[in-house]
Amino acid sequence: MTVPNVVVVGGGFGGLWAARALRRAPVVVTLVDRRNHHLFQPLLYQVATAALSPADIAAPIRSVLRRQKNVEVFMGEVVDVDRAARQLLLADGQRIAYDYLIVATGATHAYFGHPEWEPIAPGLKTVEDATEIRRRFLLAFEAAEQERDEVARRALLTFVVVGAGPTGVEMSGAMTEIARKSLTRDFRHIDPSSARIILIEGGPRVLAAYDEKLSAYAQRALERIGVQVRLNSIVTKVEEGGVWVGDEFIAARNVVWAAGVTASPLGKRMDAETDRVGRVKVQPDLSIPGDPRVFVIGDLAWLNGDDGKPLPGVAQVAMQQGRQAAKNIARDLRGEPRLPFHYRDKGSMATIGRRAAVLQMPRPHVLAKGWFAWMAWLFIHVMSLIGFRNRISVFIEWAWNYLTWQRGARLITGEVSPDLKPEGYHAHELSPSPDTQAAHDAGNRAAEDERGWMGGDVHQAAPAPKG
């Protein structure tokens, strides 16, 4: 009897949890990802703000799955799905056949119809994004140290974060702490604490998907540490040198984009119905209509929850869907009926800064803020990391940072031009990333960060796979 081949596309939370859930199933699992590592994206902003190194929050996929004998890891980029032939087409021309397919390619940046903004205002989804943001952030202080013109120096020390979801709140809070605490004694000609961190939000409050009391607390906490919060402000243009908010121009050397996401462009290549964001509409068992052997999960899937509203694009949804898709495949092989997916909301968390965080849980209904929420955030994130070494490393880094205010990953990497701009920073020399451009070309529109997602935009309890 031929052993069925289950191909999982994507090594993020959904794909990895699906692969792990199939460890006892009578199948061969092929996990395909264009990168060799699983990234714990909730802490990616800490790489961008020099608190952690990339290796602290990432783990090689082969290492994570090394003890699972029925799994093969294939490094490659899937660009198309031939459902009639049950094959995947890779960027290098290779094809991979499947009996069952689980697609978990997630989301990418969305710039509301302006992909040309991305080179100037990078988003935060990958290690490369984080190290580039870190480089630009640290370079701004180096350039300001040498700048004699006061207006130019002020622009160098102005940092704009667009979007006040969890990513934007955490990023702006961390940037402020670096400028006001970590760098204060390191420069001779500038005062790093004079840096302006401006958080721009188009809606009426920060952390809009959280309870209003928690949103109000988060705004107060941000303003207390020095973040300038601007609500009901729409960014209308991003250009080299700053951003436009209506008719007002804010001169800023650094802009970080945390305002929206859109589905992976692969969703539009599956010959299935999608929503305006590019998410594939799936049935309650997570398969696509008319093709029960193809499952779509995570940020790429569109499905209403038990409350009749679309499920949020958060990591807990992706992990639970990964396990459910695997269970339904196993039930198929045993001749049992499939079960519909029911999401269990375990709550959301976001941190603002030292001893300041927010936590909300639906059942039991819990709202927490301040020290308790911050300690819970620390504990959950350390325990959720994959690998004992990563947990110990992050714990030590955080303890050192707490005691000394110092951040141990303040490295400026890559080539730097004579004017201390990152190589190729000039706008006319840059182009959007392939994912952002492909999503734009496919017609995918932007979705707001909702509560965010545990890929950087929401933080929930997330047990790591053992391995």
Given the residues 118, 147, 170, 448, select the one marked as catalytic: 170
Do the Cβ atoms of 462 and 454 come closer than 8 Å?
Answer: yes
Amino acid at 384: S
Catalytic, 336? Answer no
Q: Residues 313-330, buried b or exposed e (16+ Cβ, 10 A)?
A: bbbbbbbbbbbbbbbbbb
Do the Cβ atoms of 447 and 310 come closer than 8 Å?
Answer: no
Q: How far is Cα 149 from Cα 352, in angstroms, rounded to an integer?
A: 33
Bridge partners (DSSP) listed for residue 296: 103
Of residues 362, 268, 312, 47, the one with CA closest to residue 165: 312
Classify burial at 332, counting beta carbons within 10 Å of its beta carbon; exposed 0-12, middle 13-18, buried 19 or more.
middle
Taking the CA atoms of residue 449, residue 51, residue 58 and residue 91 in that order, the dihedral angle to the nearest 10 degrees is 60
Number of residues written out for the chain: 467
User: For residue 251, what are the contacts with CB-CB under 8 A and spacing of at least 6?
Assistant: 151, 154, 155, 158, 241, 242
Q: How far is Cα 414 from Cα 217, in angstroms, rounded to an integer?
A: 39
The residues annotated as belonging to the active site are 170
